Amino acid sequence: MKAEKSNNYCYNKNLKQLANTLRMNLTKSEACLWKYALRARKMKGYQFRRQRPVLNYIADFMCKELKLIIELDGITHQNDDAVVKDNIRTLVLENVGFTVIRFTDEEVFTDLPGVICSVEKVIDYLELLHPRPSDTPASGG
């Protein structure tokens, strides 16, 4: 299976309720990145979704148009088991066509401009792979 428009980018409707619950209870770092960088097409005019069910996972943030997933890793992601699970998750998502980038909560809290710059650089690269149709104006601010 590949992530594409025809399969709604591997959307998993069975995780919808859990995703809705997580969306209503964002972590502080998720709320910060959402508010200051990703909501309302602030990131180069691209639409991001919060807590998006993808395959058997719930991505923290996802842009369907670019097939980009952003994951924020808190303190629970620092033990060896969690690192292994995160690496497997990244490989599975990349195997279906997504680009996955990860930041720690600490990075979001201490260097939000750097996180935003990193995301913008990834978007610049992905735009080369997934150019916007010429009739779709880029919006945002």
Domains present along the chain, CATH in parentheses: 32-129 (3.40.960.10)
Give pLDDT, residue 82: 83
The residues with which 102 forms a beta bridge, in sequence order, are: 71
Q: In a 10 Å sphere around its CB, with 0-12 CB exposed, 13-18 middle and 19+ buried, how is residue 75 labelled? A: exposed
Mean pLDDT by 10 residues, the chain (141 residues): 94 96 95 97 96 97 96 76 91 97 96 98 92 61 48
Sheet holding 49-54, edge to edge: 49-54, 57-63, 68-73, 99-104
Q: What is the pLDDT of residue 134?
A: 65
Give me the pLDDT at residue 80, please: 73
**pLDDT at 135 (0 to 100):** 52
